[in-house]
Structure 1
Amino acid sequence: MTNTLFDALMAPHKGEARDFLILPDGSSLSYDDIHRLSGRLANLLTAQGVKPGDRVAVQVQKSPEALALYLATIRAGAVFLPLNTAYTPAEIAYFVGDAEPALVVCDPARAARRDDFLPDGGKLMTLDADGKGDLIEAAICHAEVQNPVPRRGDDLAAILYTSGTTGRSKGAMLSHDNLLSNARVLADAWRFTSEDVLLHALPIFHTHGLFVASNVLMLAGGAMIWLPKFDAAQVIELLPRATSMMGVPTFYTRLLDRPDFTGELVQKMRLFTSGSAPLLAETHRAFEDRTGHRILERYGMTETNMNTSNPYEGERRAGTVGFPLPGVALRITGEDGSLLPRGEIGQIEVRGDNVFQGYWRMPDKTAEDLAPDGWFRTGDLGMIDPDGYVVIVGRGKDLIISGGFNIYPKEVELLIDEMPGVLESAVIGVPHPDFGEGVVAVIARAEGAKPDPDAIIADLSDRLARFKQPKKVMIIDELPRNTMGKVQKAALRAEYAELFSGRDQTR
């Protein structure tokens, strides 16, 4: 019996001196360096009383040592629990209370407030952005040699908490097989090999940077240019050394804002992918015009990793997330659970080896979203177009019901985004005294532009049914986003909740 995930990702590279992590200062760490460090850390975890199945909660800045800690955790048979570095001590207290980790690892500066998030007797160790802290100091005293703890494919490897925008955060339980099956599919679908060098500027507390990017490259035996965060100038400097980059839409818009981002710069690149938030068709076109590369957009989520992808070879169609990945089944269902034909909007459901095991200590929520036959109700609304491409329309919670009519925000947003002076838009529903919900378009203006709200409403008057048209248009400088670049519609709904209060709005 083997340690399913660790043995697949790192065991084949034991003793290999070739580059694995290339750092911004030009130095590098080999596969063997990380293999040996993860061995020390795994032995340390065991010495700290971490047993197979125990959780190790980690809120640290991105570093090579942080990646080694992830590998050490699964190597020791434990369950890795990464936490967003932006979470406050009060938020961390919830996760620690819910997951009951055997060990918490945080930045030394955060450790000073341990009483705010750690119960009496809880174990805490530290690791900073430079890879220093008592975790590493203690690991040095342990041997590099460690026999990975045997794990079955259905044993848990990680718990990732969802953002909690639909209620209290839920811990998605991901098994060794969930993560490994998806990494294998993606490495093949996106043609990753040991010759690849991935420019890695994503955080590693999220499935995108940790499981999609890192797992795929380890499985393929490639190297990663390991950046602590996205910095456009730094990325432009390092792109000539890379063959691929995985990013969020903001990465690409920021690169396009710079005149020194040119087609010559990316001559060695073979692949750019985008996810975690929708990529505007305008960004697709501008990026292709500038570089000759068409960004590959895909669709995934915390509970499943990746579900669909535009093709590596073939048309990468803007506004879609491509086709279901090999081994992933996808269907569109109505409110009654019936299967809907192509072209009709409904809930996206997926099934496959990538689908999680359920929500940590939430059996009722698990039963609600994950059917006994394996179909997971994603909560995303979408359709399959006539050519088989999957189109994401929005989250179910973003559905607007005004005057008894269903309104899908994406349909309105696509029209507004084409208008002069509009950078991007977010369409939301807020309380309305007559209609239940009133449609509001919140628009981020393009630089130097002054969009006219009345003109925008007038332009939509003959393009959308009246009930879909915004009753109000708000112009702002920038839409609020979370750390992965997703527009925070919940924040917008809260901000404009009183917009129609006490007013006569009968449009």
Structure 2
Amino acid sequence: MTSPVDVLGAPDPVGAVLTAHTAGTPIAVRTSGTTSSPRLVVRSTASWVGSFPAVTALTGLDAGSRLWLPGPLHASMNLFAAVHARSVGAEVLDRPDGAGHAVLTPAALAGALADGTPLAGVHLVVAGDRLPRALADRAVAAGARTAHYYGAAELSFLAWGTAEDDLRAFPGVELALRDGVVWARSPYASTGYAAGQDGPLRTAPDGWATVGDRGTLTADGVLLVAGRGTDAVTTAGATVLVAEVEQALRRAGSGDVVVVGVPHPRLGQLVAAVGTDPVALAAARAGASELTAAQRPRLWLHLERWPLTSAGKVDRAAVAELATAGHLAHLPAAVA
């Protein structure tokens, strides 16, 4: 088997992907490292290029487009966007001025809105983490058009919509739930990890694969993603899955919430809910009745802006450190 090209080691990673495609050589790209250490994922270039027509149709990106792409190329979502843009002849910008398209993480979008970045007329593709409906609505109110997709470095595109609550299977992808875990059968999937590496990707003989994300699939085909099911808080002997609590709180509060464990001398850990919007966080607190006693957060904490990883995603480890160190404000008992 031909050794994959580590495209990020090339002076021009985008060109390296396109050269590998011409040569029929596999490539290696990195996972984001959001829930673990980054890994090298091996894939054929066709697994990316094959999705270009669908992405072009969904976004309208063409040779006359100007794409704002502020994120680093070591994040596979950004590398893909840059390769797609070059393949259709679009211009890639590192600043928003004059851009009609943009690819951002939800945290980067929240920062752009907070900074007053002009987004009127911009077609946003938001990925890398879940896009709350409230944040998508803020972008639309600023004049933007939003698209949102769910995927993984190992599996590429899985579902597409306008926010986290209307995701449907990406063209050419089949979705299924097995014991609450999202599985997919897709022509865009990778072949696995580089030699000597392991990760959450699991495959079945019938072509289905998963990275362990949990979720639900409604009768009319909407995929609601809870997140990686292995992140947990242990409190008073009970194991609480973070993804399940966050999903319930987002439904109740219409805003993004990160749940972490804060050490406690008697209980082991306390479940803490952290958010940047105090009103949404208060709504989540008021609507947390569907949670069990163990799942219900004991701490409700507020910060101004999310700490980010180098890939532009919420840095959960940093959030947990801030909460543990007592550097976050407690949500008042009553919030207007």
Q: Same fold (TM over 0.5)?
A: yes
**1:321 CA displacement:** 5.4
Indicate which of 61, 82, 87 corresponds to 1:214.
82
Specify the alignment match of 1:360 in structure 2. 194
Question: For residue 203 of structure 2, what is the aligned residue in structure 1?
Answer: 370
- Unmatched 5+ residue regions in structure 1? 1-51, 76-147, 228-233, 311-315, 335-345, 500-507
Matches within 5 A, 1:130-169: 149=23, 151=24, 155-156=25-26, 158-164=27-33, 167-169=36-38
State whether residues 297 and 320 of structure 1, in contact with CA within 8 Å, keep that contact through their aligned partners in structure 2. no
Deviates more, 1:349-358 or 1:279-288: 279-288
- After superposition, give the CA deviation of every residue in 1:227-280 in whole Å (9 maximum; x if it has no partner): 2xxxxxx41x313xx3x22222234323323557364xx2xx5x3211112223
What letter corresponds to residue 375 of structure 1 in structure 2?
W
Give the whole-Å Cα distance in 2 for the aligned partners of 1:456 and 1:207.
Answer: 34
Secondary structure of the residue aligned to 1:186 is helix
CA apart distance, 1:354: 0.8
| Structure holding more helix per residue | 1
Alignment partner, residue 274 of structure 2: 442
Q: Where does residue 409 of structure 1 map in the other structure?
A: 245
Match of 2:74 in 1: 205
- TM-score using structure 1 length: 0.55
CA contact (8 A) 1:277 1:485 kept: no
Q: Per the alignment, do residues 457 and 189 of structure 1 end up closer, same or farther by CA in structure 2, a change over 3 Å counting?
A: closer
TM-score where L is the length of structure 2: 0.79
Shift of 1:482: 1.0
Q: Check if 1:390 corresponds to 2:223.
A: yes
Q: Deviations over 1:108-159 (max 9, x none)?
A: xxxxxxxxxxxxxxxxxxxxxxxxxxxxxxxxxxxxxxxx54x2xxx51x21
Residues 399, 409 of structure 1: 8 Å contact kept: no
Q: Structure 1's 491 and 216: CA in aligned 2 closer, same or farther, altered over 3 A?
A: same
Paired residue type of 1:272 = L
1:249 and 2:106 equivalent? yes
Matches for 1:63-82 after TM superposition, within 5 Å: 65=12, 67-72=14-19, 74=20
Q: Which secondary structure does the structure 1 equivalent of 2:273 belong to?
A: strand
Give distance in 1, aligned partners of 2:35 and 2:89.
38
* Deviation of the 1:348 alpha carbon: 1.0
1:57-89 deviation per Cα after TM superposition (whole angstroms, max 9, x unaligned)? 6458xx9x55335444x26xxxxxxxxxxxxxx
Structure number, greater radius of gyration: 1
Identical amino acids, percent of aligned pairs: 20
- What is the number of equivalent residue pairs in this alignment? 323
Whether the 8 Å CA contact 1:159–1:171 is kept in 2: the answer is: yes
Counterpart residue number, 1:351: 185
Structure 2 residue aligned with 1:467: 294
RMSD: 3.6
Mapped partners of 1:202, 1:174: distance in 2: 22
CA–CA distance in structure 1, aligned partners of residues 112 and 275 of structure 2: 22
Task: Tell me, in whole angstroms, the C-alpha distance in 1 between the residues paired with 2:193 and 2:217.
Answer: 28
Counterpart of 1:330 in structure 2 is 175
Query: How far does residue 360 in structure 1 lie from its aligned partner after superposition?
Result: 1.0
Q: CA–CA distance in 2 between the matches of 1:206 and 1:167?
A: 14
Q: Secondary structure at the match of 2:177?
A: strand
1:189 is displaced (CA, Å) by 3.8
